[in-house]
């Protein structure tokens, strides 16, 4: 039995879309006609899922981090209750209101009913279930502890979602503040400053330097301000196009790691992601060398990915993990020390998890502190701009008062 996406006309004449299970497309059409509906299009859900399901931690449509975490937690809970996997997927598909989740779950269930393993069924939808997810599930199936492995995957995805939400919520107020600042200053420069300055220019007196600068800025914004957004968009598009070239992207990612503040945050985020992925994979009985290859795939910095490939070769040849990561030079010393301690004591899985949690906590603290400093900094910048405008306007008035005296 497979899953099918359908578009049909209801008795009322309205189009209806959904997902149902049937042995064939013909059987699916018969089910729709039995419900009093006229089938317009019936397509295997596997094809539709591949077209619409999104990537993991990518922000694209489909299974977002939130949806994937919820789905993983539901499967783990029902499996722990002793419900067979195909019944678990059927129950989740029947109770969910999210059509994207329902479509993917029914498609996966159809593959399982055809005789595929759970990991193989997930592999048919690589855009919805990433390599890390599939490898962990495969290890859980081989070890016979799929429910426990899915619990860990649920914790991991939920942790990623919570961290992203914290960052997004923390950035809302500063971004609104920046928008209001730009809006207020633009309004002053376009509508207020020209009228005020016109009074002084009519007197024929020589304006002070700050006032002349203000007049020039006001004239530029009034005449060419509309070009600024398209110009910024063109610059951003040009940078994105340039970064699509592997050589330029590689050099940019290398330079990014060496920047004073941003580089530290990028290194911290990449380290936490890599070690956290290693912890999940090794804890699910995935061999270390294979786990390093999978974890390298979740990295977004091309320079670090290249260096980690060298580290993977070192471990494959018999080297220690902590020494291979230390040779890269961009991982935090405390993380290296914890990994070395885990290797020497035989508790590498546990120490990898602790190292990942410690790095994530440090990163969250740094992001929170940065955002907290950004708010007063923007207020100071806005106050400085307004002060400059006021001083540029007041200086000619003070000059006129001195001449009158």
For residue 381, give the nearest of 225, 182, 235 by alpha carbon.
Answer: 182
Position of tokens 């494959």? 316
Give residue 241's pLDDT.
92
Which residues sit opposite 4 in a β-bridge? Answer: 20, 44
Query: In Å, what is the CA distance from 181 to each residue of 134, 167, 173, 215, 270?
Result: 47, 21, 12, 19, 33
> How much is the pTM?
0.65
Give residue 340's pLDDT.
92
Give residue 52's pLDDT.
45
Q: Is 35 strand, coil or helix?
A: coil
For residue 210, give the nearest of 389, 381, 79 by alpha carbon.
Answer: 389
Low-confidence ranges of the chain (pLDDT < 70): 1-3, 21, 23, 45-62, 143, 201-205, 400-405
Tokens describing residue 189? 């420069």
- 170, with CB counted inside 10 A (0-12, 13-18, 19+), is middle
Give residue 203's pLDDT.
64
Give residue 59's pLDDT.
34
Q: Could you read off the pLDDT of 298-348 as tens digits, one per residue?
A: 788 899 989 999 999 999 999 899 999 999 888 889 999 999 999 888 888
Give residue 61's pLDDT.
36
Give residue 402's pLDDT.
59
Backbone angles phi, psi at 21, to 5 degrees: -105, 140
Q: Could you read off the pLDDT of 139-179 as tens digits, one per residue?
A: 778 767 788 788 877 887 777 777 777 777 777 877 887 88
Position of tokens 């912890």? 279
């Amino acid at each position: 039995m497979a899953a099918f996406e359908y578009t049909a006309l209801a008795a009322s004449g309205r189009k209806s879309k959904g997902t149902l299970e049937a042995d064939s497309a013909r059987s699916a059409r018969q089910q729709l006609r039995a419900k009093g509906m006229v089938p317009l299009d019936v397509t295997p859900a596997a094809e539709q899922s591949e077209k619409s399901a999104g990537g993991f931690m990518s922000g694209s449509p489909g299974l977002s981090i939130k949806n994937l975490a919820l789905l993983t937690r539901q499967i783990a809970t029902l499996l722990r209750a002793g419900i067979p996997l195909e019944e678990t997927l059927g129950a989740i598909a029947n109770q969910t209101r999210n059509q994207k989740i329902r479509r993917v779950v029914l498609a996966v269930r159809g593959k399982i009913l055809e005789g595929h393993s759970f990991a193989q069924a997930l592999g048919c939808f690589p855009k919805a279930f990433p390599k890390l997810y599939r490898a962990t599930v495969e290890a859980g199936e081989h070890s016979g502890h799929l429910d426990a492995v899915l619990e860990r995957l649920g914790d991991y995805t939920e942790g990623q979602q919570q961290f992203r939400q914290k960052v997004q919520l923390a950035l809302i107020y500063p971004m609104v503040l920046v928008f209001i600042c730009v809006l207020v200053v633009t309004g002053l420069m376009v509508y207020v400053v020209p009228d005020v300055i016109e009074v002084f220019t009519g007197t024929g007196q020589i304006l002070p330097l700050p006032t002349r600068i203000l007049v020039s800025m006001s004239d530029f914004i009034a005449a060419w301000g509309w070009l600024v957004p398209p110009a910024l968009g063109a610059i951003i598009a040009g940078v994105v196009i340039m970064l699509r070239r592997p050589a330029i992207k590689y050099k940019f990612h290398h330079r990014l790691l060496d920047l004073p503040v941003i580089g530290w945050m990028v290194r911290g985020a990449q380290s936490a992601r890599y070690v956290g992925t290693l912890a999940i994979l090794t804890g699910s009985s995935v061999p270390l060398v294979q786990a390093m290859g999978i974890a390298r795939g979740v990295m977004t910095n091309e320079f670090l990915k290249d260096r980690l490939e060298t580290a993977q070769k070192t471990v494959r040849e018999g080297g220690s993990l902590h020494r291979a990561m230390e040779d890269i030079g961009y991982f935090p010393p405390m993380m290296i020390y914890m990994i070395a301690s885990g290797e020497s004591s035989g508790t590498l899985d546990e120490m990898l998890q602790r190292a990942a949690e410690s790095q994530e906590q440090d990163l969250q603290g740094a992001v929170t502190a940065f955002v907290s400093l950004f708010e007063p900094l923007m207020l100071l910048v806005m106050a400085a701009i307004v002060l400059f405008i006021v001083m540029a306007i007041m200086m000619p008035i003070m000059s006129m008062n001195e001449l009158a005296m």
